Chains A and B, each alone.
Chain A
Amino acid sequence: MAVPVQYYLVFSTLVFCIGLFGVLTRRNALFFLMSVELMLNAANINLVAFSFYHGNLTGQVFSLFTMALAAAEVAIGIGIILVLYRNFADVDVTSATTLRW
């Protein structure tokens, strides 16, 4: 018998929490992007695990979609970071606060 589905869930939770930790603590925008990528992949793990558990391919198909989405998101994210760098000469997210209030 294969690995039970609970193990996958615990694993994906761990990966998601690492990503969340990165988002909450890092100030560098590139690390932000990487952390978000980790959280997305945690979700992908869940999708594939449940797909396997239920015995159909829907989950796997959706995880493909998510990867495509993640690629697009990274493209836009890096674009934003580039602009951020040009305007503030830095990629620190806490320094880009001129639009508040």
Chain B
Amino acid sequence: MAESLAFEFAPAIAVLPFVSFLVALLAGRYLPKKGAIAGMVATGGSLLLSAWTLFAVHTGHAYQQTLYTWVGGELVDFELTFGILLDPLSTLMLVIVSTIAFLVHMFSLGYMNDDGQTGLPRYYAELGLFTASMLGFVFADNLLMAFMFFELVGLCSYLLIGFWFREAGPPSAAKKAFLVTRFGDYFFLIGVVGVFATFGTSMFGGPGVDDSFVHVAEQALVGEASVNTFGFEPQTWFTILGLLVLGGVMGKSAQFPFHTWLPDAMEGPTPVSALIHAATMVAAGVYLVARMYGFYALSPTALAIIALVGGFTALFAATMAVVKREIKQVLAYSTISQYGYIMLALGGGGYVAGVFHLTTHAFFKALLFLGAGSVIIAMHHNENMWDMGGLKEKMPVTYYAFLSGSLALAGIVPFSGFWSKDEVLYETLVHGLGGSPILLAAYAMGLIAVFFTGFYTVRMVLLTFHGEPRSETAADPEPVRWNVKLPLAVLGVLAAVAGVINLVPVHAVVSAVPEILHDWLYHGPTGLNGEHYHELITNDAFAGYTSGELLGLGETGTLFASAGISLALAVAGSLLALVLYRGPDPAEHTDKLGALKPVLFNNYYQDEYQVWLAEGATVRVARLADRFDRGIIDGLVNFVSSLSLFSGDRLRRVQTGIVTNYAALLTLGLTLLLVAFGVMQGWFV
């Protein structure tokens, strides 16, 4: 009874922040904290409801309900609906999103209100709408609804990145984020249409949904169902559909080559960056892959591409983070890199590992951004790490929380990031060793990225908090209040201990230690649980992954060897940074990179080539097309019209206006007719 009540209230999880959006928008200026309180109450309520549904799913079963059918009936052979799907994955994500959103609202009190910022009602309204769209996206039960909320998330991030629209940078960054992600979403939209055209439904599944597109696709591959695949082999077509949807995922989750918007998005207020990077915008992409994982698991090609893109992005972004001077830039590239890991896990067949890293990353990345926000408050909005230093003694709460998040990010045992990153790499390694060189290549890139992650993380911590203050503001920082410290403390603890939800290596030795997340995700509804995905991954008719082992080490040996290698690399990277940047007055070592330095500082010229693509190539092609349109197409039409104009002009000269001429023509015509008539009739013969 209690669980069904929880499900009855579930839609309110997204509705509550939406109400706070309306309240802040319409009445925000009259409220004491300009809408912050309403936002906190709403997200707090969402958090409680999410936790309640999580508990209800845990004690009972998953739940799916169609709330509203907006296209349907007898005249069309498909239905477009809004509905909710509450299963282990979505309830877990709901809890994560509402937790982070709640803490970000609280932090905003310190970052925005105490700082005397203007436009606060707009800020809280957008924050509420952002949270509402992400929560709606998370519990969407079909792909079309997911797409709509996906777009809303993109819109809200556009609004929030461009919050300080009176300055030059933010509006341009907002436009860039909007356009780049929209480029990916374009493919996503085609993918949604393709899914509808193929399966006639876009339901993800869940209890009571027998013909979800994931399930039908699976049956089509084993020959138990037939769908319209437009002349392709079913597996080829499903791969194409999967890759189209993946376009949206890569745009939102900032995967190479669509990652360029994310570092620029740092122009937004820091709490917004925390929300975007940890729980909403960027997480939406990989969450979508996890949501329809049963579909991707059918196609080894799509999985290989996901893994390769993920592994490459992880390494690529990590190398760029190494040289950055602004604290938020380092964090931005680390976000890209970490989402690369999540993609790597999902592509490598590690569904649980991917969700695990998504969870731990949400906590430690929110923590790092809020920590950076705290530092930025203290530094009067100077983000350059070379102006900081020595903040450790001045702001201990921020320091220890930030350190906890940094060690988690670097993947140092026993912080949460270690356990999840290790599992990501382990899953990819064993499936790669099982006979997939592509996965091994992706694994190798992910592994090298661990070294860089350790390096840039420790470098960031040392430059920000250690050594002597390198500027006057760093020597006398602005104090922060409880509303900054409390979220940091909560997240600091979470970032340290969140790993306990899936202690795989410990479980391998002491089986009494449970793999909570693993069991949780395996416990889901038919067709939507980890166990089923594992069967799909290992089935030769679908992805056909097999597990291998490192030479003669056995399963447990491989697990520990993998963990050992990644930990050793993380420690090596950290130690290198420690050696280079310790001491009271660290020197900048970027000159040692030689020719690489400008390349890294310019982010591998990614922006340049994309600008060239836009301005050099696209504009030129557009100009050519314009010339063709105006020259050939319009020219043809104009030629026809001028031809008739010209001939009409000549022909009207016949009308002289002189009656005598008309009479002469009349007579002439009659005579000619008579003569012709006579010739035909043979009168003159």
Determine how close the nearest CB of chain A comes to the CB of B645; give it in whole angstroms. 14
**Is the CB–CB distance between B657 and A96 below 8 Å?**
yes
- Residues of chain A lying within 8 A (CB to CB) of residue B660: 23-25, 27, 93-94
Q: Which of B655, B664, B667 contacts A100 (CB 8 A)?
A: B655
What is the 8 Å Cβ interface bit string for chain B, positions 647-665, against chain A (1 contact, 0 not)?
Answer: 0000011011111100110
Q: Which of B653, B656, B659 contacts A32 (CB 8 A)?
A: B659
- In the bound complex, what is the Cα–Cα distance between A25 and B659 (angstroms)? 11
A58-101 contacts to B, CB under 8 A, are: 93-94, 96-101
Determine how close the nearest CB of chain B comes to the CB of A52; give it in whole angstroms. 26
B23-37 contacts to A, CB under 8 A, are: none
Q: Which of B653, B657, B663, B664 contacts A99 (CB 8 A)?
A: B657
What is the 8 Å Cβ interface bit string for chain B, positions 629-659, against chain A (1 contact, 0 not)?
Answer: 0000000000000000000000011011111
**Is the CB–CB distance between A101 and B655 below 8 Å?**
yes
**Is the CB–CB distance between A97 and B657 below 8 Å?**
yes
**Is the CB–CB distance between A100 and B663 below 8 Å?**
no
**Is the CB–CB distance between B658 and A94 below 8 Å?**
yes
Our count of residue pairs bridging A and B at CB distance below 8 angstroms stands at: 28
Bin chain B's interface residue count.
10 to 19
- In the bound complex, what is the Cα–Cα distance between A100 and B656 (angstroms)? 6
**Is the CB–CB distance between B663 and A23 below 8 Å?**
yes
- Residues of chain B lying within 8 A (CB to CB) of residue A98: 657
Determine how close the nearest CB of chain B comes to the CB of A97; give it in whole angstroms. 3
Determine how close the nearest CB of chain B comes to the CB of A95; give it in whole angstroms. 9
- Residues of chain A lying within 8 A (CB to CB) of residue B667: 20, 24
Determine how close the nearest CB of chain B comes to the CB of A99; give it in whole angstroms. 6
Determine how close the nearest CB of chain A comes to the CB of B115; give it in whole angstroms. 78
Determine how close the nearest CB of chain A comes to the CB of B363; give it in whole angstroms. 85
Determine how close the nearest CB of chain B comes to the CB of A35; give it in whole angstroms. 10
- In the bound complex, what is the Cα–Cα distance between A59 and B660 (angstroms)? 31
- In the bound complex, what is the Cα–Cα distance between A97 and B657 (angstroms)? 5
Determine how close the nearest CB of chain A comes to the CB of B261; give it in whole angstroms. 64
**Is the CB–CB distance between A24 and B664 below 8 Å?**
yes
Determine how close the nearest CB of chain B comes to the CB of A76; give it in whole angstroms. 15
**Is the CB–CB distance between A97 and B664 below 8 Å?**
no
- In the bound complex, what is the Cα–Cα distance between A24 and B663 (angstroms)? 7
- In the bound complex, what is the Cα–Cα distance between A24 and B661 (angstroms)? 8
- Residues of chain A lying within 8 A (CB to CB) of residue B656: 97, 100
- Residues of chain B lying within 8 A (CB to CB) of residue A94: 658, 660
**Is the CB–CB distance between B658 and A93 below 8 Å?**
yes
Closest to B663 in A: A23
Given A20-B667, A24-B663, also A101-B652 (CB < 8 A):
yes
Closest to B655 in A: A100
- In the bound complex, what is the Cα–Cα distance between A94 and B663 (angstroms)? 13
**Is the CB–CB distance between A93 and B655 below 8 Å?**
no
Determine how close the nearest CB of chain B comes to the CB of A21; give it in whole angstroms. 10
**Is the CB–CB distance between B663 and A97 below 8 Å?**
no
- Residues of chain B lying within 8 A (CB to CB) of residue A99: 657
- Residues of chain A lying within 8 A (CB to CB) of residue B655: 100-101
- Residues of chain A lying within 8 A (CB to CB) of residue B663: 20, 23-24
Determine how close the nearest CB of chain B comes to the CB of A93; give it in whole angstroms. 5
Closest to A96 in B: B657
- Residues of chain B lying within 8 A (CB to CB) of residue A25: 660
- In the bound complex, what is the Cα–Cα distance between A98 and B659 (angstroms)? 13
Of A98, A99, A101, which is in contact with the most chain B CB atoms at under 10 Å from its CB? A101
**Is the CB–CB distance between B659 and A93 below 8 Å?**
yes
- In the bound complex, what is the Cα–Cα distance between A97 and B656 (angstroms)? 7
- In the bound complex, what is the Cα–Cα distance between A98 and B657 (angstroms)? 8
Closest to B659 in A: A93
A6-48 contacts to B, CB under 8 A, are: 20, 23-25, 27, 32
Determine how close the nearest CB of chain A comes to the CB of B662; give it in whole angstroms. 10
- In the bound complex, what is the Cα–Cα distance between A27 and B660 (angstroms)? 8
Determine how close the nearest CB of chain A comes to the CB of B664; give it in whole angstroms. 6
Determine how close the nearest CB of chain A comes to the CB of B293; give it in whole angstroms. 77
- Residues of chain B lying within 8 A (CB to CB) of residue A27: 660
Of A25, A97, A99, which is in contact with the most chain B CB atoms at under 10 Å from its CB? A97
- In the bound complex, what is the Cα–Cα distance between A32 and B660 (angstroms)? 9
- In the bound complex, what is the Cα–Cα distance between A93 and B660 (angstroms)? 8
Closest to A29 in B: B659
What is the 8 Å Cβ interface bit string for chain B, positions 106-125, against chain A (1 contact, 0 not)?
Answer: 00000000000000000000
Determine how close the nearest CB of chain A comes to the CB of B554; give it in whole angstroms. 102
- In the bound complex, what is the Cα–Cα distance between A63 and B655 (angstroms)? 34
Closest to B656 in A: A100
Closest to A100 in B: B657
- In the bound complex, what is the Cα–Cα distance between A27 and B658 (angstroms)? 10
- In the bound complex, what is the Cα–Cα distance between A20 and B663 (angstroms)? 9
- Residues of chain A lying within 8 A (CB to CB) of residue B664: 24
Of A27, A94, A96, A99, which is in contact with the most chain B CB atoms at under 10 Å from its CB? A94
Show the binding face of B for A, using Cβ within 8 Å. 652-653, 655-660, 663-664, 667
A–B Cβ pairs within 8 angstroms, 16 of them = A20-B667, A23-B663, A24-B667, A25-B660, A27-B660, A32-B659, A93-B658, A93-B660, A94-B658, A94-B660, A96-B657, A97-B656, A97-B657, A97-B658, A99-B657, A101-B653
Show the binding face of A for B, using Cβ within 8 Å. 20, 23-25, 27, 32, 93-94, 96-101
- Besides A24-B660, A93-B658, A94-B658, 15 more A-B contacts (Cβ < 8 Å) are A20-B667, A23-B660, A24-B663, A24-B667, A25-B660, A27-B660, A93-B659, A93-B660, A94-B660, A96-B657, A97-B658, A100-B655, A100-B656, A100-B657, A101-B655
